[in-house]
Homo-oligomer: A and B are copies of this chain.
């Protein structure tokens, strides 16, 4: 799986509150499928499906303990997602005036950035 596809899978896996909650639970330590599903008003196969999505995204690994399939979080893909987001950090850490100034600088540097426009009523 190359990096763009892995980012696809990672972000898609994170785009669901149930799966994010499952990861939050797993951050506290291993848990079985039953333990993971208990907080949710959802059938057990639905939980299994969410776990499969997380597994395919490489965000969890499943072990075996008798009938149990304890899950562990695997945070490496989160690091990649974080690395992608990092490239935009300056864009959200700046205040608005700074942003405008940056865009002006970029425009002055020959980038095809357009003039900031008047904001409509939205």
Which A residues are closer than 8 A to B by beta carbons?
4, 7-12, 14-17, 20, 23-24, 27-32, 35, 63-65, 70, 73, 75-76, 78-79, 81-82, 84-89, 91-93, 103, 106-107, 111-114, 116-120
Contact = CB atoms under 8 A, between A and B. Distances in A.
A105 to B, nearest CB: 10
Given A27-B88, A81-B85, 20 more contacts: A4-B17, A7-B17, A8-B17, A11-B14, A15-B15, A20-B84, A23-B88, A28-B111, A29-B106, A29-B107, A29-B112, A29-B114, A30-B114, A31-B112, A65-B117, A70-B114, A78-B92, A79-B93, A82-B86, A82-B89
A28 B113 contact: yes
